[in-house]
Amino acid sequence: MTQFSANLGFLWSDLSLPDAIRAAKAAGFDAVECHWPFEVPAEDVKAALDETGLIMLGLNTIRGDVASGDNGTAAIPGREQEARAAIDQALDYAARIGTPNVHVMAGFAGGPKAHATFISNLTYACEQALKHGITILIEPLNHYDAPNYFLATSEQAKAIILEVGAPNLKLMFDCYHLQIMEGDLVRRLEKMLPLTGHIQFASVPDRGTPDHGEVNYNFIFEMTEKLGWTAPLGAEYKPGNTPTDQTLGWLKK
């Protein structure tokens, strides 16, 4: 039976992170994940996870200077020190709350120097993550939501994963982003599953609940089961102006 994780970056974003964890448990989710939890004391998050019995599957490295438009720094030449500080911060927090995955955000960059910078920083991240038994994830983002983001396709991510060659570097397979950039989701899942560390989903093109739009997620969920995927799938959709609890008809089905 397919399991689901609530991404608390979008779901129950009106609540504190500990209360959002409790809300996800009450709604029937099997796990949770988040974006940037660092302003919340790790012990408060850990207490909510222990109370509910849920695991926090993943979190992201910080974006950098958000006011200036940053969306990660790991592929930006000249900002290696900042990128590695963000990696250290994320790994420390993840280790303290028992999170198995950290998404290292590449940022807006391009070209050979950006590629070399990303490879170097990912090598560092994987070496540090091994000490905690943590997997590093990289995620292609679509060029409508994140123009000029360094990592845009699953094939680019695959090449980077193979070049780094670390056993704990995996792909974040976000169906929403990859449908926009590449489509052919089922065959892509079949091809990329050995390199995949986490799967996320949202409707396309509006990034809403998965029960509408151009992707038949009932079929996608069935296929992940048939392919042998057993970890929770990440619901990373935007509820808009609707309270999260009122958007969960798809989950009840």
236 is catalytic: yes
Rg for the chain (alpha carbons), in Å? 17
- Total domains in the fold of the chain: 1
| For residue 181, pLDDT beyond 90 | yes
DSSP 140: -
CA dist 226 and 232 (Å) reads: 14
Q: Which of 82, 127, 163, 236 is the catalytic position?
A: 236
Q: Do 137 and 82 touch, CB atoms closer than 8 A? A: no
Q: Give the model confidence (pLDDT) of 69-115 as tens digits.
A: 999 999 999 999 999 999 999 999 999 999 999 999 999 999 999 99
> By residue range, what is the domain housing residue 137?
4-252
Closest CA to 244 of 65, 21, 84: 21
pLDDT at 239: 97
**In this model, does residue 248 exceed pLDDT 90?**
yes
Tokens in use for 212? 């509408």
Band of residue 216 on the pLDDT scale cut at 50, 70, 90: very high
pLDDT of 253 > 90? The answer is no
CA distance 14 to 172: 26
For residue 1, the model assigns a pLDDT of 87
- Are 73 and 118 a contacting pair, CB within 8 Å? no
- What's the whole-number mean pLDDT along residues 196-213? 98
Average pLDDT over residues 17-39: 98
Q: Where are the alpha helices (DSSP H) in the chain?
A: 17-27, 42-52, 80-97, 112-130, 154-164, 175-181, 185-192, 217-226, 249-252
Q: What is the pLDDT of residues 140-160, one digit of tens each?
A: 999 999 999 999 999 999 999
Half-sphere exposure of 57 (CA within 13 A, CB side): 24
Which two three-digit tokens encode residue 230? 């057993």
Kindly report the CATH number assigned to the domain that includes residue 23: 3.20.20.150
* Whole-model pTM over 0.95: yes
Query: For 93, what's the count of Cα atoms within 13 Å in the CB-facing half-sphere?
Result: 27
Query: Inter-axis angle of helices 217-226 and 185-192, to 10 degrees?
Result: 30
Q: Give SS3 for 143.
A: coil
Give the pLDDT of residue 77: 98
Q: Is 225 among the catalytic positions?
A: no
Quick one: pLDDT at residue 141? 98
Kindly name the residue from 39, 127, 139, 190 that is annotated as catalytic. Answer: 139
Query: What is the mean predicted confidence (pLDDT) over 214-225?
Result: 97
